[in-house]
Amino acid sequence: MCGILAVLGCSDTSQSKRARIIELSRRLKHRGPDWSGIHCHQDCYLAHQRLAIVDPTSGDQPLYNEDKTVIVTINGEIYNHEELRQKLKSHTFRTGSDCEVVAHLYEEYGENFVDMLDGMFSFVLLDTRNKSFIAARDAIGITPLYMGWGLDGSIWFASEMKALSDDCEHFVSFPPGHIYSSKSGEHQRWYSPPWFAETIPSATYDRLLLREAFEKAVVKRLMTDVPFGVLLSGGLDSSLVASVASRHLAKANVAKQWGSQLHTFCIGLKGSPDLKAAKEVADYLGTFHHEFEFTVQEGIDALEEVIYHIETYDVTTVRASTPMFLMSRKIKSLGVKMVLSGEGSDEIFGGYLYFHKAPNKEELHLETCRKIKALYLYDCLRANKSTSAWGLEARVPFLDKEFINVAMGMDPEWKMIKPDLGRIEKWVLRYAFDDEQNPYLPKHILYRQKEQFSDGVGYSWIDGLKDHANAHVSDAMLANASYVFPDNTPTTKEAYYYRAIFERFFPKNAARMTVPGGPSVACSTAKAVEWDAAWSKNLDPSGRAALGVHAAAYESTEDAPKRSAENGKLNLSQKLQGVEATV
């Protein structure tokens, strides 16, 4: 990931203003430690901090068209850039960067080219010929982008709000799947797939089509000129990513630096479910596995730095970001600059444990739509900023546009969880990769029950965070929280503790309003309670809140993976008969 900063329409064009923008851009240096650049045109500035993944030698930014009248600063990866170059044969390319196509696509097609891009991206493009500009963000919001306004009428864009929060009177999170044009002064949605209207799809489940779409999504994300690996927790999603990537590497020389053996990475407290499960998957796949342990105290010591980087006080995000933040530092120390991760699967397939309570397929589908649309506020934010804090790029194949179209186009009846018929959460994904002749994963791993990331790294992690917060936030402080924090008032001591840290770094009201309101619960408490009122007694956003659903709800860390695996060993013919009888 890179860091971008654009300031357009400044009243001050002095050298001191340029120096200030360079200073602010340096706040994003962690995102792009490899090089920095800035382009000034009259009262417009485009700055860039580069993490070099593709074409490290010549792809420095900002990037230009042939006569440098079009300038672009972009954070992202354009996976179909080779295909797009074929459509731009009349243009001259200066670099091998995948991002250079953006400037030439604008020349060729004007502002209506963004939907041609297959990738993750946030960019600002300046056309000096008429002094207009556009800004755009990828379909789901995998890459972060903020938009702000200065008192002098200037408009700002930045990868993280720390680069604009001090100089902008107001700022917001730029909406995913949108483009902003200075010509209209408005945001317009460029990403509008059929499922986005939340109509109930009706396509029949095609397991091979789903499998092929995911394999393509993984393979295209192996586009790199630097060492890479896979974040492997041992759960279904990361294990499938690792399995597909490992298969591809065995028959294609993708990573010359590290050969054809895939590297995998996992973190957890000593004896945690994730460490055990990941080791089992890594041994099966034959990956070069790296295992990192951390202590509760090490995680607590990192909290302030984590919140500064992820720019949120959301409880579930802080819990899950801290181990990921610590692991990213270790990974970067090994010389790795890019990893694949499994975010997005639970939102697409209804994988969270509260989906067991979905009353019908219509409700399930609408909730998956809502979850995907909110990813940029939660898991995408966590995965991007936790890794980018150390100059590491995370790519997420489950959020591939074409894969989402396939997965969200099927009749949601196939996604309904029906244990009596052998259909656990994400059954359609599990069965798609249930290959008897050439197994992707062992059966008990393929059908292993979901573990929340913040639980999987070790159940005592959440308990330790709560204990620490309880020791530092008094009853009186929490009782008066509505006066201290009238907006998005924290309702627990843990939430209060994170909020207090956040406010020290980002004291403006605009900053706190970029975080979703109310106490966040990873299992979407509001919907869970609507589906089953009994869940109102279990509001903790841990997987253990899913009493009666999660196999490890009352078990020790050692027993949990075993019970989960036993629950997953279901007769395949019974599964098929059950599904065929109900769809």
Provide the token pair at 164: 């604009």
pLDDT at 457: 86
User: What is the layout of strands, in order, in the sheet containing 393-395?
Assistant: 288-293, 263-268, 228-231, 338-340, 393-395
To which residue do tokens 């627990």 refer?
492
Residues 247, 377: one domain?
Answer: yes
569 within some domain? yes
Tell me the C-alpha distance between 502 and 510, whole Å: 13
Q: How many domains does the chain have?
A: 2
Contacts of 530 (CB under 8 A, 6+ apart): none
Provide the token pair at 324: 């990921």
Continuous segment of H or E residues that includes residue 188: strand 186-189
503 within some domain? no
Here the CATH number for the domain that contains residue 131 is: 3.60.20.10
pLDDT at 459: 81
Between 576 and 70, the more confident residue is 70
Model confidence at 577: pLDDT above 60:
no
Residues 127, 250: one domain?
Answer: no
Q: What would the pLDDT profile of 158-198 be if each residue is shown by its tens digit?
A: 999 999 999 999 999 999 999 999 999 999 999 999 998 88
Provide the token pair at 474: 């008094």
Q: Which residues of 532-552 are buried (b: 16+ CB within 10 A; e: fewer)?
A: beebeebebbbbbbbeebbbb
Provide the token pair at 128: 């000096």
Residues 406, 552: one domain?
Answer: yes
User: What is the layout of strands, in order, in the sheet containing 155-158?
Assistant: 35-41, 44-50, 3-8, 155-158, 146-149, 170-173
Here the CATH number for the domain that contains residue 245 is: 3.40.50.620
Residues 165, 223: one domain?
Answer: no
The secondary structure of the chain in percent helix, strand, coil, rounded to multiples of 5, reads 45, 15, 40
Residues 133, 268: one domain?
Answer: no
- Asked if 146 contacts 173 with a C-beta cutoff of 8 angstroms, the reply is yes
Q: Is 2 a catalytic residue?
A: yes
- Domain-terminating residue out of 173, 192, 211: 192
Measured on CA atoms in the order 349, 282, 321, 468, is the torsion positive or negative? positive
Whole-Å CA distances, 177 to 74, 83, 343, 429, 513: 15, 22, 18, 26, 20
pLDDT at 569: 39
pLDDT confidence band for 78 (50 / 70 / 90): very high
- Please tell me the least confidently modeled range out of 209-213, 350-354, 458-462, 572-576: 572-576
pLDDT at 307: 98
Say which DSSP state 449 is in. P
| Mean pLDDT value across residues 465-481 | 98
Say which DSSP state 272 is in. -
496 within some domain? no
Closest CA to 327 of 256, 260, 251, 272: 272
pLDDT at 260: 77
Say which DSSP state 418 is in. B
pLDDT confidence band for 534 (50 / 70 / 90): confident
Closest CA to 465 of 506, 494, 436, 424: 494
pLDDT at 198: 81
Q: How many angstroms separate the most distant Cα atoms in the chain? A: 73
pLDDT at 572: 39
- Domain-terminating residue out of 159, 192, 225: 192
pLDDT at 549: 61
- Domain-terminating residue out of 168, 192, 216: 192
Residues 222, 366: one domain?
Answer: yes
Angle (CA) 509 514 520, round 5° = 115
65 within some domain? yes
Tell me the C-alpha distance between 522 and 10, whole Å: 41
Residues 225, 363: one domain?
Answer: yes
| Mean pLDDT value across residues 139-160 | 98
Closest CA to 84 of 135, 61, 112, 118: 118
CA atoms within 13 A on the CB side of 383: 25
292 within some domain? yes
387, amino acid identity: T
Q: Is 257 exposed, middle or buried (0-12, 13-18, 19+ CB in 10 A)?
A: exposed
507 within some domain? no
Tell me the C-alpha distance between 137 and 175, whole Å: 7
Tell me the C-alpha distance between 470 and 30, whole Å: 32
- Please tell me the least confidently modeled range out of 105-114, 330-339, 415-424, 478-487: 415-424
User: What is the layout of strands, in order, in the sheet containing 63-64?
Assistant: 63-64, 70-78, 119-127, 132-137, 178-181, 186-189
| Mean pLDDT value across residues 575-582 | 35
Cis peptide before 227 (omega within 30 of 0): no
Residue 138's CB is within 10 A of a number of other CB atoms, namely 28
Note the Cα 174 to chain centre separation in Å: 15
Model confidence at 322: pLDDT above 70:
yes
Q: Is 56 exposed, middle or buried (0-12, 13-18, 19+ CB in 10 A)?
A: middle
Whole-Å CA distances, 435 to 415, 446, 570: 20, 10, 15
pLDDT at 545: 54
Determine which one of 2, 99, 266, 380 is catalytic.
Answer: 2
Contacts of 247 (CB under 8 A, 6+ apart): 440
| Mean pLDDT value across residues 215-240 | 96
144 within some domain? yes
Give the three-state DSSP class for 229: strand
pLDDT at 439: 97
Residues 369, 230: one domain?
Answer: yes
Say which DSSP state 511 is in. H
Say which DSSP state 61 is in. S
Say which DSSP state 201 is in. P
Closest CA to 162 of 48, 37, 309, 380: 309
Domain assignment of residue 151, given as a range = 3-192
239 within some domain? yes
